[in-house]
Amino acid sequence: MIVYTVKGGKYFPVAESFANDAETLRGIYINLTNRCNNDCVFCLRDKKVMAAEKSLWLDEEPTVDDVKAELNAVPFHLVKEIVFCGFGEPTIRLAELTEILRYVKKIQPNISTRLNTNGLGELEHGRDISADFKNILDVASISLNAATAERYLKITRSKFGIQAYAAMFTFAEHMKKTVPQVVMTIVDKVTPPDEISACKKICAEHGVTLRIRPYENS
Ligand code: SF4
């Protein structure tokens, strides 16, 4: 599935979602890749049931035109938000991601756009990528996961090693200059209460809002 909706923790192709319910406002999700530079211990990509259903698993990465074609069939009067999410890390496909964001803002300038990311796009591309999102992204939601670099690495098993944690905060600080809302998130079931408190403190120090979200893929 490339463009999909979520209801009750399940994923639906947009056509099926709107055919079954043509009244409710909902978010539209865009799935660009299975690839990720992390290997989180809780990642849904590892869950056998998800692999069997292959609901979000992409046998082939979609082209920009593939995504545009699916977006063109969406009844946007029923859409409140467009979210880049999925099984992998969207910023790995930075050029395609920003091209689609530009397209969304061109055809639907009033619909909010959100990027769910692990915040490691700058390490992936070796530069400050925040300017790429100027005027096309409304919300950047970054998975914080932990209160220390060591614990972060243990959970995420990032290919970038111990530097990943600090780089994620640098990315957040850069994004605050170009994106209206930057939030960091932690997952409730995998984060102990004392770590949640420590995460709140760290986010306050960096001037970033912390959101505690239910267990799901980032
Ligand atoms: S949970 Fe998100 S950041 Fe972690 S490995 Fe899966 S896709 Fe990557």
> Is any atom of ligand 1 closer than 6 Å to the C-beta of 38?
yes
> Is any atom of ligand 1 closer than 6 Å to the C-beta of 43?
yes
22 Cα to the center of ligand 1, angstroms: 32
> Is any atom of ligand 1 closer than 6 Å to the C-beta of 45?
yes
Q: Whose CA is nearest to atom 7 of ligand 1?
A: 88
- pLDDT value, residue 7: 81
pLDDT tens-digit readout, 163-214: 999 999 999 999 999 999 999 999 887 778 898 899 999 999 988 999 998 7
Q: Ligand 1, from 31, 156, 185, 218: best to mutate by most atoms within 8 Å of Cβ?
A: 218
> Is any atom of ligand 1 closer than 6 Å to the C-beta of 39?
yes
- pLDDT value, residue 55: 73
Cβ–Cβ under 8 Å, residues 204 and 179? no
Q: Can you list the positions of beta strands (E) in 24-153? A: 26-31, 79-85, 112-117, 139-143
- Check the CA dihedral 150-193-49-11 and report its sign: negative
> Is any atom of ligand 1 closer than 6 Å to the C-beta of 138?
no
Decide: helix, strand or coil at residue 148: coil
> Is any atom of ligand 1 closer than 6 Å to the C-beta of 121?
no
Decide if pLDDT at 216 tops 80: no
Q: What is the DSSP string of 174-210?
A: HHHHHSSEEEEEEEGGGS-HHHHHHHHHHHHHHT-EE
> Is any atom of ligand 1 closer than 6 Å to the C-beta of 217?
yes
> Is any atom of ligand 1 closer than 6 Å to the C-beta of 46?
no
- pLDDT value, residue 88: 92
Q: Give the residue extent of every domain in the chain.
A: 3-213
- pLDDT value, residue 213: 84
Decide if pLDDT at 93 tops 90: yes
What does the DSSP 8-state code read for residue 76? Answer: G
pTM above the 0.85 mark? yes
- pLDDT value, residue 50: 58
Q: Whose CA is nearest to atom 2 of ligand 1?
A: 218
205 Cα to the center of ligand 1, angstroms: 25
C-alpha distances in Å from residue 172, one per residue of 33, 162, 177, 217: 22, 17, 9, 20
Question: Residue 169, Cα to own-chain centre: how many angstroms?
Answer: 16
pLDDT tens-digit readout, 121-133: 999 999 999 999 9
- pLDDT value, residue 136: 98
Between 2 and 10, whose confidence is greater?
2
- Tell me the pLDDT band of 218, cut-offs 50, 70 and 90: very low
- Tell me the pLDDT band of 217, cut-offs 50, 70 and 90: very low
Query: What mean pLDDT do residues 85-97 have?
Result: 93
**How far apart (Å, rounded) are the C-alpha atoms in residues 78 and 21?**
10
Decide if pLDDT at 100 tops 90: yes
> Is any atom of ligand 1 closer than 6 Å to the C-beta of 70?
no
Percent of the chain predicted with pLDDT > 90:
68
Q: Which CATH number fits domain 3-213: 3.10.20.70, 2.102.10.10, 3.20.20.70, 1.10.150.20?
A: 3.20.20.70
pLDDT tens-digit readout, 14-69: 888 888 877 788 899 999 999 999 999 888 776 655 555 557 888 899 999 999 99
Q: Whose CA is nearest to atom 1 of ligand 1?
A: 43
Q: What are phi and psi of 149, to 5 degrees?
A: -65, -35
